[in-house]
Amino acid sequence: MVNISRIILPVLVLIIVSYGIYKKVDIYDVFLEGAKESFDFILTMFPTMLAMILGVNIFLKSGFVNFVFEYLDPLLKLLSLPLEVLPMAFIRPISGSSALAILSSLLKEKGPDSFIGRLASVMQGSTDTTFYILTLYYGSVGIKKIRYSLIAGLGADLAGIIGSIFITQMFF
């Protein structure tokens, strides 16, 4: 049986090249022009990405997250929520790769069929990397006023976290 995912990209490239030949387009020159444009885009995005990475690392290494968890522990016990998923809920809007690392660790430690594993998995799929999105997309077009987008994005993340808790408790 043919693995379709392995042939999709080569077939797509073949279709694009064939269409370019049919339309009598100098494919190589157009490709180089696109590569030059992407290099300029990368150069304009580099300071924004560097600032975001630096900010995320300072936030994660400062110990602020652990400080917050200590104060939220009694509330979580009252709501019967596991403390282990809280780091993921806080980190997910900031860094997708860090949240994925936390999810992977929880799945290895607690198991994918545990309540914690299921809750973390649903939470991963119900939230987004709000700060990354705002930094990358708004920074690429020069938008500096992000207040309302930030509020809406963090509100959606909060709704995703609360929804994932209720859904996981209801179904599992």
DSSP 114: S
**Range 61-75 average pLDDT:** 80
Provide, for the chain, the percentages of residues in helix, strand and coil under a 3-state DSSP scheme, each rounded to the nearest 5: 85, 0, 15
Residues with Cβ within 8 Å of residue 56, at least 6 apart in sequence:
94, 95, 98, 131
Please tell me the predicted confidence (pLDDT) of residue 2: 66
The predicted model scores a pTM of 0.66
Please tell me the predicted confidence (pLDDT) of residue 63: 79
Q: How far apart are CA 91 and CA 153, in angstroms?
A: 14
pLDDT, one tens digit per residue, over 74-128 is 888 887 788 888 888 888 888 888 888 889 989 999 999 999 999 999 999 999 8
pLDDT, one tens digit per residue, over 5-54 is 788 989 999 999 999 999 999 988 998 888 888 887 778 777 877 877 78
